[in-house]
């Protein structure tokens, strides 16, 4: 019994320190805080996946102004949703957000589901995101485990190994479950997130200001820099591609990407393998007669799993050959093209083209 009381004291003490610190020093003025609206909380949590708060704020405000509720998001076209997401990256998040809104209209009468299992069943919502929504919107004591929280737990409780490994993640989830208080759920959940984002950072953590410094195993054993263990490094594969800038006066041809995969559903530039005759490709694909212009500088862009090297190749359209145009392509003015739902590297290429 004494052992059980000791464990309870550790759990209560940990949670109390987090809650007290959050109330005094945590973040309270972010645009998605101070609301119980599950829709607003959901949008923010999806945007914050693998993206820093400072990058999200502007996107969140514009997105919520255009899509203030489930109904408006569900009724929008995917192209419009992607346009408001353009530049934020990881575009499957936007496609999942759109589809989830449609599912809520179809299956939940346009309301955000209340049960944890129903929340987690929506596209793009994993256990930790569902728990955050459930905690912030409905005050349910559900444990979270995002990247910041994993770092706090790994350091405080000396959890060895890369958190992405299943056995390490399982250990971290067990900690998250055991430490979850039944009251002050919002302050505790927000406090864990804030602690990892502002003090217990990956580099240059401010341990002296941390409410957990007295009991932090990594600080006591001088392992703060070693924990959590880094992901095993692998050399990123390199891929090269040539992208065609098909120009006619002030207009440029954009092509719709397939609905899934890299940049799924976004507008982009036509791609050809590096080394292919670009004028022949333009003729065969689009029925266009072109004049080749000087290439633009190679642009490199790193994805999670590979690095892409893009050679932008401008071609001036000088004549249309007797061939049907593809329905997935469109000619737009450069200004309209830059404002379309584009991946960030493509928008950068179009801007450089305008200044060339």
Q: Which residues lie below 8 Å from residue 214, measured CB to CB, with a gap of 6+?
A: none
Give the distance between the most distant pair of CA atoms in the chain.
87
- Catalytic annotation, residues: 45
The model's pTM: 0.84
Extract the runs of DSSP E, i.e. beta strands, from 80-181.
Answer: none
Exposed / middle / buried, residue 106 (Cβ in 10 Å: 0-12, 13-18, 19+): exposed
Calpha distance 155→134 (Å, rounded): 26
Calpha distance 259→92 (Å, rounded): 10
Calpha distance 134→115 (Å, rounded): 8
From the list 285, 276, 343, 339, the residue with the least C-alpha distance to 317 is 285
Beta carbons of 91 and 265 less than 8 angstroms apart = yes
**pLDDT of res. 328:** 83
Calpha distance 34→44 (Å, rounded): 13
**pLDDT of res. 12:** 59
Judged by DSSP in three states, 243 sits in strand
pLDDT along the chain (356 residues), means of 10: 43 88 96 96 96 94 98 97 93 96 98 97 97 97 96 97 96 97 96 96 96 95 96 89 94 91 92 90 89 94 91 92 66 92 94 74
Cβ count near 126 (within 10 Å): 11
Calpha distance 129→145 (Å, rounded): 8
Q: Which residues lie below 8 Å from residue 194, measured CB to CB, with a gap of 6+?
A: 22, 25, 26, 27
Peptide bond into 228 cis (omega under 30): yes
**pLDDT of res. 321:** 62
Is residue 287 within a helix (H) or strand (E), and if so which, with residue range?
none
């Amino acid at each position: 019994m004494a052992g059980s009381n000791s464990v309870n004291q550790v759990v209560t003490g940990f949670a109390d320190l987090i809650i007290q610190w959050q109330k005094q020093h945590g973040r309270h003025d972010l645009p998605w805080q101070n609301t119980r609206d599950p829709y607003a909380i959901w949008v923010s949590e999806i945007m914050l996946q693998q993206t820093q708060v400072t990058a999200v704020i502007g996107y969140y405000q514009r997105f919520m102004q255009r899509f203030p509720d489930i109904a408006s998001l569900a009724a929008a076209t995917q192209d419009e949703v992607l346009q408001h997401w353009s530049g934020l990256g990881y575009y499957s998040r936007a496609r999942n957000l759109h589809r989830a809104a449609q599912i809520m209209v179809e299956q939940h009468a346009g309301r955000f589901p209340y049960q944890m299992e129903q929340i987690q069943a929506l596209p793009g919502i994993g256990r930790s995101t569902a728990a955050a929504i459930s905690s912030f919107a409905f005050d349910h004591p559900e444990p979270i485990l995002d990247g910041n929280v994993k770092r706090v737990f790994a350091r405080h409780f000396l959890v060895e190994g890369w958190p992405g490994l299943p056995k390490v993640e399982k250990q971290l989830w067990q900690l998250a479950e055991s430490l979850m208080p039944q009251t002050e759920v919002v302050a505790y959940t927000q406090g864990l997130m804030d602690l990892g984002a502002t003090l217990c950072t990956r580099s240059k953590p401010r341990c002296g200001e941390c409410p957990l410094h007295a009991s932090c195993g990594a600080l006591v054993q001088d392992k703060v820099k070693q924990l959590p263990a880094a992901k095993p490094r692998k050399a990123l594969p390199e891929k090269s591609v040539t992208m065609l800038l098909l120009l006619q006066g002030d207009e440029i041809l954009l092509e719709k990407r397939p609905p899934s995969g890299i940049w799924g559903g976004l507008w982009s530039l036509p791609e050809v393998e590096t080394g292919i005759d670009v004028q022949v490709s333009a003729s065969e694909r689009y029925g266009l007669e072109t004049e080749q212009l000087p290439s633009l500088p190679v642009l490199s862009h790193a994805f999670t799993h590979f690095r892409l090297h893009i050679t932008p190749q401008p071609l001036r359209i000088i004549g249309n050959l007797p061939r049907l145009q593809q329905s997935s392509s469109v000619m737009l003015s450069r200004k309209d093209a830059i404002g379309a739902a584009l991946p960030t590297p493509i928008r950068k290429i179009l801007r450089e083209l305008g200044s060339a």
